[in-house]
Amino acid sequence: MDENKMEYGADLLTLLDEDGNEHQFEVADTMEYEGEEYMALVPVFDDPEDLLEDSGELLIFRSVNEDGDGYLEPIEDEALFHTIADLFMERLEDEYDFIEE
């Protein structure tokens, strides 16, 4: 392999839900907006049947770091959520097919 060429795989995160179940996501994109960091995630499935049943929604969270611990939290402000979602959709439109609802 050429020393100047590097191959990168998907950036994956494993998150725990309220019930302690693990779910794996691919980080589709990250960005900073007004001093805050945001992440757009896409679910990863081992079973193709699960993929077919998925809604295909892009999941968007605010990334928070407190005392060296990082976590993701939902965006509570609906107007801010739509602003961030629109920005991610513009940035990712070449990689994903979005359907307007």
Q: What is the pLDDT of residues 31-45, one digit of tens each?
A: 999 999 999 998 887
**CA–CA distance, 41 with 35 (Å, rounded to integer):** 20
Cα 29 to Cα 38: distance, rounded to the nearest angstrom? 8
What is the rounded CA–CA span in Å between residue 67 and residue 53?
38
pLDDT computed for residue 57 by the predictor: 74
The pLDDT assigned to 64 comes to 92
Residue 80 confidence (pLDDT): 97
pTM: 0.71
The rounded average pLDDT for each run of 10 residues, N- to C-terminus, in the chain (101 residues) is 49 84 88 95 70 64 89 94 92 65 53
